[in-house]
Structure 1
Amino acid sequence: MSENTAFKPSLRLIDGTMLVAGSMIGSGIFIVSADISRNVGSAGWMMVVWLITGFMTLTAALSYGELSAMFPKAGGQYIYLKEAFNPLISFMYGWSFFTVIQTATIAAVGVAFAKFTAYIFPVFSENDVAIDLGFLRISPAQLLSILVITLLTYINTRGVNNGKIIQTVFTMTKLLSLLGLIVFGFFALKPEVWEANWTNIWDIHKLNPDGSTESYVSIAVFGAIASSMVGAIFSSDSWNNVTFIAGEIKKPRRNIGLSLALGTIIVTIIYIAMNVVYTSVLSMHEIASAERDRVAVAASHVIFGQAGTIIIAVMIMISTFGCDNGIIMSGARVYYSMAKDGLFIRKVGTLNKKAVPGIALWLQCVVASLWCLSGRYGDLLDMISFVVVVFYMLTIIGIFILRKKRPDAERPYRAFGYPVLPVLYIVMGIAFCTLLIIYKPNYTWPGLIITLSGIPVYYIIRWFEGRNPEQAMLFENEG
Structure 2
Amino acid sequence: MSKRGNHVLLKQPILADLSSPKPALTLADAVGLIVGIVIGAGIFETPALVAANTGNGTALLSAWLMGGAVSIVGALCYAELATTYPNVGGSYYYLKRAFGGNTAFLFAWARLTIIQTGSIALLAFVFGDYASQLLPLGTFSASIYAALAIALLTALNVIGLQQGKRTQNILTVAKVVGLLLVVGVGLLFSASPASPIPATSQTTNWGLAMLFVLLSYGGWNEAAYISAEIHDGRRNIVRSLLWSLGIITVIFLLINLAFLQGLGLEGMAQSSAVAADLMRRAFGEPGAKFISFLIAISTLGSINATIFTGARTNFALGQDFSLFSRLGQWEQRPSAPKTAYLLQAAITLALVMLGTTTRKGFETMVEYTAPVFWFFFLLSGLSLLVLRYREPERQRPFQVPFYPLTPLLFCGVCGYLLYSSVAYTGKGAIAGMIVVALGIPLLWWERTQQRKT
- Give your verdict on TM over 0.5: yes
| Range with greater deviation from structure 2 (251-260 or 61-70) | 251-260
In the superposition, the TM-score normalised over structure 2's length comes to: 0.79
Query: What is the distance in 2 between the residues matched to 1:231 and 1:250?
Result: 26
Aligned-CA RMSD value? 3.8
Q: Give the one of 311, 334, 341 matched to 2:320.
A: 341
Candidates 435, 438, 441, aligned match of 1:453: 438
Asked if 2 retains the 8 angstrom alpha-carbon contact of 1:116 and 1:317, the reply is yes
User: How far did 1:277 drift?
Assistant: 0.4
> Counterpart in 2 of 1:228?
209
Partner of 1:311: 290
Mean CA deviation greater in 353-362 or 101-110? 353-362
Residue 324 (structure 1) aligned to one of 303, 324, 338 = 303
Shift of 1:71: 3.4
* Residue 18 to residue 87, structure 1, CA distance change in 2 (3 Å): farther
What's the CA shift string for 1:192-241, capped at 9, x where partnerless? 699x53x85xx5x52xxxxxxxxx5xxxx5xx111222322333334434
Task: Provide, for residues 229-279 of structure 1, a one-character-per-residue CA deviation record: whole Å limited to 9, x for no partner.
Answer: 232233333443456xx6xx7964769968766654443332221110011
1:177 maps to 2:178: yes
Q: Aligned runs of 1:341-420 on 2, under 5 Å? A: 341-342=320-321, 344-349=323-328, 353=332, 357=337, 359-374=339-354, 375=356, 378=362, 379-416=364-401, 418-420=403-405
| 1:141 corresponding residue in structure 2 | 145
| Aligned length, in residue pairs | 425
Gaps of 5+ in 1: 130-137, 207-215, 469-479
Q: Which runs of structure 2 are paired with 1:77-96 in the superposition (5 Å)?
A: 77-96=91-110
Query: 1:188, CA displacement in angstroms?
Result: 2.4
Distance 1:371 1:24, change over 3 A: farther
Q: 1:421 — aligned with what? A: 406
| 1:301/1:307 contact within 8 Å kept | yes
Query: Match for residue 218 of structure 2?
Result: 237
Q: 2:330 and 2:394 mapped to 1: Cα distance? A: 30
Instruction: Find the residue that maps to 2:254 and give its secondary structure.
Output: helix
Runs of 5+ consecutive residues of structure 2 not aligned to the other structure? 1-9, 14-20
In structure 1, distance between residues paired with 2:404 and 2:336: 37
Partner deviation per Cα, 1:389-433 (whole Å, 9 max, x = no partner): 121121011111112222233433333554333222212222333
Aligned to 2:85: 71
Name the CA distance, whole Å, in 2 between partners of 1:443 and 1:144.
Answer: 22
Residue 119 of structure 1: CA displacement? 3.3
CA contact (8 A) 1:385 1:443 kept: no
Distance in 2, matches of 1:164 and 1:12, equals: 22
Whether the 8 Å CA contact 2:42–2:123 is kept in 1: the answer is no
1:344-382 per-position Cα deviation (integer Å, ceiling 9, x unaligned): 512433555588655434432332233335535642432
Matches within 5 A, 1:252-263: 252=229
Matched, 1:462 2:447: yes
SS for the counterpart of 1:287 is helix
- Shift in Å, 1:453: 2.6
CA distance in 2, matches of 1:88, 1:241: 23
Deviation at 1:48, TM superposition (A): 2.0
Taking the aligned partners of 1:37 and 1:235, their CA distance within structure 2 comes to 14
State the distance in 1 between where 2:173 and 2:228 align: 22
Show the counterpart of 2:6. Answer: none
- Counting only pairs closer than 5 Å after superposition, residues 118-133 of structure 1 correspond to structure 2 as 118-122=132-136, 125=137, 127=139
Give 1:150-299 correspondences, 5 Å limit.
Answer: 150-154=154-158, 157-158=160-161, 167=168, 169-189=170-190, 197=197, 200=199, 203=200, 206=202, 224-241=205-222, 252=229, 264-290=245-271, 293-299=272-278
So what's the TM-score if we normalise by structure 1?
0.75
The answer to whether the 8 Å contact 1:69/1:257 transfers is no
Residue 50 in structure 1 maps to residue 69 in structure 2: no
**Structure 1 stretch displaced more, 268-277 or 168-177:** 168-177
Query: Where does residue 34 of structure 1 map in the other structure?
Result: 48
Asked whether the 8 Å contact 1:150–1:365 carries over to 2, the reply is yes
User: Structure 1 residues 128, 233: CA separation in 2 closer, same or farther (over 3 Å shift)?
Assistant: closer
Taking the aligned partners of 2:32 and 2:305, their CA distance within structure 1 comes to 9
Aligned equivalents of 1:333, 1:72: Cα separation in 2: 19
Q: How far, CA to CA, are the matches of 2:194 and 2:75 in structure 1?
A: 36
Counterpart of 2:16 in structure 1 is: none
Residue identity matched to 1:170: L
Q: How far does residue 445 in structure 1 lie from its aligned partner after superposition?
A: 4.0
Distance of 1:182 and 1:73 partners within structure 2: 39
Q: Is the 8 A contact 1:27 1:112 kept in 2?
A: yes
Taking the aligned partners of 1:115 and 1:440, their CA distance within structure 2 comes to 21
The code of the aligned residue for 1:464 comes to Q
Q: Structure 1 residues 286, 380: closer, same or farther in 2, change over 3 A? A: closer
Give the CA deviation at 1:49: 2.0
Aligned-residue offset at 1:301: 1.8
Q: Percent identity?
A: 25
